[in-house]
C-alpha cells in the first residue's frame, strides 16, 4: 500500500526538518564549553517484526543547554491500525497502515527555559482493494517551569502566523484543541501553556493539508529558539532545580497515561527506545506538595497553567 504520490515528498520534508532542528541545537551546544554532540542512531525494523520500516533517532544527552533533547523520524508500515488510531475512524479498524512523522521533546537544563514538544505526521490506511485514506496531525506546545508572559505570547503568535494562510479559524480551533488535549485529567490541570494541536486532519485536501502540517513544522524553530536564547544563561539554584524536577514528573504522567502518540507507538509494536525519548532524564514526585503563596512557583499554577487567550 502506498499512501499517495506525496508520500515520498513528505518523507524528504520530514528528514530535512529533523536535520534542521538538530543542527540548530548543535549550534547552541557548541556556543560554549561543555556542549554535547548529537547522537545519530539510524534503525530498521525487519520483516519478522510486527512493524516494518525505518527511522533515525537523534538525541543530545547531558548537554550544556539541553539535559536531554530527542528528535525522532520514523516511517513504518503495519498490518493493522492500533486502537489508539481508530477511535475516530472505526471504519478503518484492523486496516493496514503506513505512518511517518517527526516527533521531538526537549528538556533544557536551566529551569527558566521551558520544555517543548513538537510533532508532525502523516498516516494512510485502507482495507485491501480500497483507496487508502490519508490524514495528518501535529502541533507544538510549551511547558514552562517559571513562566514569562512575553515568551508565551511569542510562542502562540508564531503558531498563529504559521496557520494564518490556511484559514482564520485554524489557530483558535487548534489552540483550543491543544488546551483540551494536553490536560492531566486525573489531576485537573494543564500540562503547560499550550500552543496548537490537530489530529485526523484532511479537510483541506491532501496537498493543502500536507502544506499546513509542514508550515507548523517550519514554525518550530522561530517559536522556540528565541526563548532558549533569552533564558539559557539565567542564574538558578537548588530551589528552582527541585521545582523543575517536580514539574517534570507531571510531564511523565501525561506522556504515559494520556498521550495518544505514546500509546500508538507501543500498541503498534514501535521501537520502544525511540518512543520513550520524550522522557526527561530526571524527574521527581512529592506527596501533596503546595507552593508558597505569592511565590513564582504558585504563579505558574495560578497564571500560566490556566487556558487563556495569549494573542
Residue 280: φ, ψ to 5°:
-70, 155
- Residue 142's nearest CA partner among 67, 216, 184, 195 is 195
| Cell matching residue 187 | 489531576
CB neighbours (10 Å) of residue 285? Answer: 12
Alpha helices in the chain (DSSP H): 7-30, 83-86, 149-163, 170-181, 205-231, 238-257, 260-267, 272-275, 296-299
> Would you say 107 and 252 are in contact if contact means Cβ atoms under 8 Å apart?
no
Q: Does the annotation count 231 as an active-site position? A: no
Which of 75, 88, 107, 117 is labelled catalytic? 117
Tell whether the torsion through CA atoms of 209, 256, 271 and 125 is positive or negative. Answer: negative
- Residue 167's nearest CA partner among 194, 133, 125, 196 is 196
Strand partners, 42: 56
Residues designated catalytic: 117
Amino acid at each position: 500500500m502506498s499512501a499517495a504520490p506525496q508520500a515520498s515528498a513528505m518523507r524528504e520534508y520530514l528528514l530535512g526538518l529533523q536535520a534542521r532542528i538538530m543542527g540548530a541545537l548543535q549550534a547552541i551546544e557548541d556556543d560554549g564549553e561543555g556542549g554535547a554532540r548529537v547522537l545519530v542512531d539510524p534503525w530498521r525494523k525487519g520483516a519478522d517484526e510486527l512493524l516494518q520500516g525505518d527511522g533515525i533517532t537523534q538525541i543530545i544527552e547531558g548537554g550544556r543547554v539541553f539535559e536531554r533533547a530527542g528528535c525522532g523520524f520514523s516511517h513504518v508500515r503495519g498490518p493493522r491500525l492500533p486502537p489508539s488510531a481508530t477511535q475516530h475512524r472505526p471504519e478503518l479498524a484492523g486496516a493496514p497502515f503506513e505512518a511517518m512523522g517527526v516527533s521531538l521533546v526537549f528538556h533544557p537544563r536551566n529551569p527558566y527555559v521551558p520544555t517543548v514538544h513538537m510533532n508532525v505526521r502523516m498516516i494512510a490506511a485502507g482495507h485491501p482493494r480500497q483507496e487508502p485514506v490519508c490524514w495528518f496531525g501535529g502541533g507544538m506546545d510549551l511547558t514552562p517551569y517559571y513562566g514569562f508572559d512575553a515568551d508565551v505570547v511569542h510562542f502562540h503568535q508564531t503558531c498563529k502566523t504559521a496557520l494564518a494562510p490556511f484559514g482564520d479559524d485554524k489557530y483558535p480551533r487548534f489552540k483550543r484543541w491543544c488546551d483540551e488535549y494536553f490536560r492531566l485529567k486525573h489531576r485537573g490541570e494543564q500540562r503547560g501553556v499550550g500552543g496548537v494541536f490537530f489530529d485526523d486532519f484532511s479537510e483541506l485536501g491532501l496537498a493543502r493539508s500536507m502544506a499546513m502540517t509542514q508550515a507548523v513544522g517550519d514554525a518550530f524553530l522561530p517559536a522556540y529558539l528565541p526563548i532558549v536564547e533569552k533564558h539559557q544563561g539565567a542564574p538558578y539554584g537548588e530551589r528552582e532545580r527541585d521545582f523543575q524536577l517536580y514539574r517534570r514528573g507531571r510531564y511523565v504522567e501525561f506522556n504515559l497515561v494520556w498521550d495518544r502518540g505514546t500509546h500508538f507507538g507501543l500498541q503498534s509494536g514501535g521501537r520502544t527506545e525511540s518512543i520513550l525519548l520524550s522522557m526527561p532524564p530526571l524527574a521527581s514526585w512529592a506527596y501533596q506538595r503546595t507552593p508558597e503563596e505569592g511565590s513564582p512557583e504558585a504563579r505558574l499554577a495560578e497564571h500560566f497553567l490556566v487556558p487563556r487567550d495569549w494573542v
